[in-house]
Structure 1
Amino acid sequence: TNLTNVTAYPSNLIIQRRETNFLDLYFTNGIRLKVHDQHQQTIIIQLDDNFINDQSLSGLCGDYNQKPDDDFKILATGLI
């Protein structure tokens, strides 16, 4: 991935280059992606507080319900 070649993006996205290998992508719906591309690629996903307890969120990292005890839960099938 070459972070210097960001040319087109939708109107609901703001891209901010913090340093050569760091990008912050801000979406108008409150989602933020932080991309670091140096030796290995790292992507951090951040959500605005208005997503707390949003029933549509669930996944490996939890439900964003401020209850760390139910993050990384193992299902009856043995899957995370």
Structure 2
Amino acid sequence: MLEAAIINMKAFGRVAVCGIISEYTDAEKRASPNMLNIVYKRITIRGFLTADFMNIFFDFSAKTSDYVRNGQLQVIEDK
């Protein structure tokens, strides 16, 4: 999926990366995007942990809840 996303990204695109569960359980499964596309398109890939943003969690939660209630944000659930 990451390789397909990178191929279709615009120059100076950004990718948020959180979690690598497949690598927790199988060290042989490694993500392998085409690094030349990342360089040529100047794409930024930045990892983060949810703990990095806990200082804004309550504000985010309140605003997001309002958006969902007002129909400004649609929730899609996949079963």
- TM-score tier (shorter): under 0.3
Could you say which structure has the higher helix fraction?
2
Larger Rg: 2
Could you say which structure has the higher strand fraction?
1
Larger RCO (CA within 8 A; separation ≥ 6): 2
Q: TM-score scaled to structure 1, two decimals?
A: 0.23
Q: TM-score scaled to structure 2, two decimals?
A: 0.23
